[in-house]
Amino acid sequence: MTDILMPALSPTMEEGVLAKWHIKVGDTVSAGDVIAEIETDKATMEVEAVDEGEVLEILVEAGTEGVKVNTPIARLAGDDVAPAPKKAEAAKPEAEAKPEPKAEKAEAPKAPPAPAKDGERIFASPLARRIAAQNGVDLKSVKGTGPHGRIVKRDVEGMKGGTASASAAPAKGEPRQVLSLEQQGIAPGSYDLVPLDGMRKAIARRLTDSFRDVPHFPLTIDCEIDGLLAARAQVNALLEPQGVKVSVNDFIMKAVAMALKAVPEANASYTPEGIAMHHHADVAMAVAIDGGLITPIIRKAETKSLAEIATESKDLARRARDRKLKPEEFQGGTFSVSNLGMFGIKSFASIINEPQGAIMSVGAGEKRPVVRGDSLAVATVMTVTLTCDHRVVDGAVGARFLQAFKPMIENPVTMLA
Amino acid sequence: MADTFDLIVIGSGPGGYVAAIRASQLGLKVGIVERENLGGICLNWGCIPTKALLKSGEKYESLSHLKDYGLSADKVGFDFEAIIQRSRKVAKQLNSGVGFLMKKHKIEVIEGTAKLEKGTAAPKVVVALNAGGNRTLEAKSVMLAVGARARAISQIGLEADGDRIWAYREAMAPKFMPKSVVVIGSGAIGIEFGSFYRALGAEVTVVEAVDRIMPVEDIEVSKAAQKAFEKRGMKFRTGCKVTKVSKDKAGVKVAIEAGGKAETLEAEVCISAVGITANTDGIGLEALGVNMDRGHITIDGHCQTNVKGLYAIGDCAGAPWLAHKASHEGIHAAEHIAGYKTPNVHSPIAGCTYAQPQVASVGITEQQAKEEKREVKIGRFPFKVNGKAIASGETEGFVKTIFDVKTGALIGAHMIGAEVTEMIQGYVTAITLEATEEDIHGIVYPHPTMSEAMHEAALDAYSRVLHI
């Protein structure tokens, strides 16, 4: 049997509304079938089946609010793992059983399931169980230090924020299970454990998948940006009355968009059905925020002026830091830019942000010796590295993109051409 | 005789001798040094003999209520000397019992006074033998279980003299039955002696510096206890500072001061119960550089001092100064010495006062919860509506529970009434096993028992009380 879990529609989503079922008990689903609709406070999205099999049980009824991510919502027959906890156990109601089980149950496992997937009982004190449930800590992942390895309060205290995983089977594509730190010789108590929040889990999962599964390679090129810096000074002088200030990164976003327009093969995504050639350059920019990063998107950047890009990116970055972005504002870009120039990083190669075909890593602009003709000169040089998904962006395609990008960033006036 | 051991325990009180037994069970070769009586203060001059006295007092007091039970008796009286004799006999019996236990566990008892010197694995123990001569003992680990003694405040003349000014030792084996007593200090020891002498008819006045009696207890318990004791004829002077204790042939004069007003209390004897002083002097701790905090030895979560191989447990290592805390630490330390990787020693320690009525508590008080800004739910249940209590004619007192709102954990329980000292362990078990309100509500308490009040007090905290 396989449990279908409540999916996370965004890296920060913790719960949602199970709006509608497209399947019923007895239906046979195959991977890719739309099985349900999930609403967050921002959007409604369709959920596709990942596994195939006959629908054995619908565990969470349509219209249920507050369904926690990773709660089992339906069960498929299949040759997978042993039965996960039954409905009643998975969603064990609180002490005061209220005569309104529908919404209550959907609030999902307040008490974590006692039986593990192999039917083994988890020994934990009542208080440890409750604190774990309140903090969304999966007791199966906790090592007990009480008598006979019983999980007690001190083992779960301070562990916070993880998603409540009532499922026995790890989500597909979860980072591989490594040996515990203790097994690797790091003594318990010699470190503090920062619990994984939704964002950290999303980063771990997505980037592990990408780095492992996407055949990637880097292409590096140096760009002289003295012309860009001069142009920026002019532009900013011009825009000053409007209170707009254009950053080097805004120029890069614009140049990337123009280069993508010039080399559309670099603005593409690999799918098993074919290569998706995107109509617009929806350029995502990596923004570091507390506890992780997020990639808000400048949509149709090729159509936007520098001032528009500057204004928009400033707003997006601010709201990203406040964690106020809507899912559609950070999901669905076609190309990413990651800039660590402000930290003095010379060059680096980012990990592909699937399903995008490439990501550009921007280093610091710094004065370096350059050879002009047969003599040395000094120029402000910025190294950029393009990491390409070889399934869509071959070496030559990536190189042509950088060839298009370089003159635009070195001489921004050419973007007008 | 061999002079090398795996463990030398210094002091054979309830901390030391229990630690020695545990270490022996774990295969260690153990020696225990005792300068006076096996079993320490607890067995010989503390917990046990006072319980013998208090039982006599309680039985005697119950005779005055015979009519309530439809009974009558003529010539009710007591033999003070016999009461004291019985108490001493009880102490002697337990003292021999510890001797037997030491033999059974092949623990060598070294009678003498120990002093520590610098050693290699652990400090060396030099014992000035009671029989004369010295003996030097070496061990891989040394455990200090040297206990504490009654605190004396010589500046105001509060120093036991065996005549008119008594500490627990004199109060336990007095030469005469005093007609009037001033007890200084209203902690467990002061209240117990006050209760005992009052039960036998002495005029008893208890002086307390804080504005309420039994200051470590929950304030509601303090108030109820004072009322209950006053009903029995005890007098209290709270918020009073003792400025001078002096004596003459007739008795003692205790000068007190409250709110700027001075007054003198007169009585035949004065019992000093103003706390304890750890027995940490004269053992050579300073020379070893043992870290101390206000007279007590500083220990870590495994009862280790800062000196290699040196452990300290019980009263000498800090509050609460209770025998069961010492035993608990002793066992933990013995296991740590034997190589057990147990988590830090940390368990709720209940406090019990065996007065009439009894007081027992564990965890935090309502005042502490407020100070810690914890959100709590509080439940109460009086014994006066408990069936068994009514049937027994022991309806005095109540049970109070304190739960943490967020987790539902029981974090405090306070009881006053008959035999509550026997009941508190129910809550101690609940807290130790980390029970939540749900678990306690689900426990089936036998009927009819006074312990049903414990269930009701837990239900009351969640507005589910049944019998009110």
> What is the largest distance, in Å, between two alpha-carbon atoms of chain B?
71
CB pair distance less than 8 Å for A134 and B407: yes
Confidence (pLDDT) at A178: 59
**Residue A41, pLDDT score:** 53
Written as one string, the DSSP assignment of A180-214 is PTTTTTPPTTSS--PPP-HHHHHHHHHHHHHHHHS
- pLDDT score of A109 more than 70: no
More confident residue, A137 or A39: A137
Main-chain dihedrals φ then ψ at residue A81, nearest 5 degrees: -70, 170
> In the prediction, which pLDDT does B26 show?
95
pLDDT at A21: 87
Closest by Cα among A365, A346, A377 to A409: A365
Residue B343 in contact with partner chain A when CB distance is under 8 A: yes
Tell me the sheet residues that pair with B440. Answer: none
Nearest to B409 among A127, A145, A154 (CB): A127
Q: Is B441 an interface residue toward A (CB < 8 Å)?
A: yes
Contact B420, B360 (CB under 8 A): yes
Flag if A126 and B439 touch (Cβ within 8 Å).
Answer: yes
How would DSSP label each residue in A336-400?
Answer: EEEE-GGGT-----PPP-TT-SEEEEEEEEEEEEEEETTEEEEEEEEEEEEEEETTTS-HHHHHH
User: Nearest CA to CA, how far is A129 from chain B (Å)?
Assistant: 10
In order of A93, A172, A352, the CA distances from A206 in angstroms are: 34, 11, 10
Q: Do B434 and A153 touch (CB under 8 A)?
A: yes
B260: left (phi over 0), alpha (psi -120 to 50) or beta: left
- A303 min Cα distance to partner chain B (Å): 53
Contact check, Cβ <8 Å, A134/B439? no
Separation of alpha carbons B402 and A75, rounded Å: 43
Say yes or no: A241 contacts chain B, CB-CB below 8 A: no
- Which candidate in B105, B302, B414, B447 is catalytic? B447
B414 is catalytic: no
Of chain B, the percentage scoring pLDDT greater than 70 comes to 100
Summarize pLDDT for B317-370 with one digit per residue, the tens.
999 999 999 999 999 999 999 998 777 878 899 999 999 999 999 999 999 999
Tell me if A134 and B406 make a contact (CB, 8 A cut-off). Answer: yes
Pick from B323, B280, B348: nearest CA to B188: B323
B115-133: pLDDT as tens digits: 999 998 999 999 999 999 9
Residue B409 with chain A: CB contacts under 8 Å: 127, 153
Mean predicted confidence (pLDDT) in A247-264: 94
Say whether pLDDT at A115 is over 60.
no
- pLDDT tens-digit profile of A199-251? 888 888 889 889 999 999 999 999 999 999 999 999 999 999 988 999 999 99
In the predicted structure, residue A114 carries a pLDDT above the cut 50: no
Residues of B in contact with A131 (CB under 8 A): 407
Q: Could you report the per-residue pLDDT of B173-205, keeping only the tens digit for each?
A: 999 999 999 999 999 999 999 999 999 999 999
How confident is the model at residue A218, as a pLDDT? 96
How many Å apart are CA A169 and CA B17, to the nearest integer? Answer: 52
Q: Kindly indicate the confidence band of residue A40, based on its pLDDT and cuts at 50, 70 and 90.
A: low
Interchain CB contact of B436 with A (< 8 Å) = yes
Catalytic-role residue among A216, A278, A280, A390: A390
pLDDT (0 to 100) of residue B436:
93
Instruction: Report the pLDDT value the prediction gives residue A291, as an integer from 0 to 100.
Output: 80
Three-class DSSP category at A90: helix
Q: Which residues pair with A356 in a beta bridge?
A: none
Looking at chain B, the whole-number percentage of residues with pLDDT higher than 90 is: 94
Shortest distance between the Cα of B301 and any Cα of chain A, in A, equals 13
Contacts of B132 (CB under 8 A, 6+ apart): none
Q: Does B433 touch chain A (CB under 8 A)?
A: yes
pLDDT band at A25 (very low <50, low <70, confident <90, very high): confident
Check B436 against A145: CB less than 8 A apart: no
- Name the pLDDT band for A94 (thresholds 50, 70, 90): very low
Residue of A nearest to B410 (CA): A127
Instruction: Give contacts of B407 with chain A, Cβ < 8 Å.
Output: 127, 130-131, 134
Tell me the per-residue pLDDT of A179-199, one tens digit each, with 9 for 90 and over. Answer: 778 778 888 788 888 888 778
Give pLDDT, residue B268.
Answer: 96
Lowest mean pLDDT among A70-79, A135-144, B50-59, B291-300: A70-79
Which segments of B285-419 does DSSP mark as H helices, in order?
285-288, 323-337, 366-371, 387-392
Per-residue confidence (pLDDT) for residue A39, from 0 to 100: 74
Q: What was the pLDDT predicted at A80?
A: 44
Q: What is the pTM of this model?
A: 0.60
Tell me if chain B has a CB within 8 Å of the CB of A187.
no
| pLDDT score of A12 | 65
Confidence of residue A177 (pLDDT cuts 50, 70, 90): low
Quick check: B435 contacting A, CB < 8 Å?
A: yes
- Is the Cβ pair A126, B343 closer than 8 Å? no
pLDDT in tens, A265-277: 999 999 888 999 9
Cross-chain residue pair A125–B408, CB shorter than 8 Å: no
Does residue B463 belong to the interface with chain A, where contact is any CB pair within 8 Å? no
Instruction: Report the chain A residue with the minimal C-alpha distance to residue B409.
Output: A127
Beta bridge partners of B242: B256
pLDDT of A161 higher than 50: no
CB B237 within 8 A of CB B208: yes
Neighbours of B36 (CB within 10 A): 14
pLDDT tens digit sequence for B11-56: 999 999 999 999 999 999 999 999 999 999 999 999 999 999 999 9
Cα separation, A85 vs A95, whole angstroms: 19
Which range among A79-88, A145-154, A157-166, B252-261 shows the weakest confidence by mean pLDDT?
Answer: A79-88
Chain-wide mean pLDDT for chain A? 81
What count of CB pairs under 8 Å joins A to B?
30
Mean per-residue pLDDT of chain B: 95
CA distances from A289 to A44, A322, A356, B328 (A): 26, 8, 22, 49
CA–CA–CA angle B126, B130, B136 (5° rounding):
20
A75-99 burial by CB neighbour count: b if 16+ within 10 A, else e?
Answer: bbeeeeeeebbeeeebbbeeeeeee
Alpha-carbon distance B92 to B96, whole Å? Answer: 6
Is B173 part of the contact surface with chain A (CB cutoff 8 Å)? no
| Of A20-24, A310-314, A316-320, B85-89, minimum mean pLDDT range | A20-24
- Residue A152, chain B, CB below 8 Å: the answer is yes
Q: Summarize pLDDT for B51-101 with one digit per residue, the tens.
A: 999 999 999 999 999 999 999 998 899 999 999 999 999 999 999 999 999
Residue of chain B whose alpha carbon sits nearest to that of A133: B407
B374 vs A293, A349, B233, CA distance in Å?
35, 50, 38
Residue B341 contacts A where some CB pair is shorter than 8 Å = no
Question: In this predicted model, what pLDDT tens digit does every residue of A334-354 receive, in sequence order?
Answer: 999 999 999 999 999 999 998
* Closest partner CB to A130 (pick from B343, B433, B436): B436
Token pair 């959920």 is found at: A47
User: Could you identify the residue written with the tokens 């899912």?
Assistant: A327
Q: Which of A126, A134, A145 sits opposite B434 (nearest CB)?
A: A126
For range B383-401, the mean pLDDT: 97
Token code pair at residue B429: 């078990």
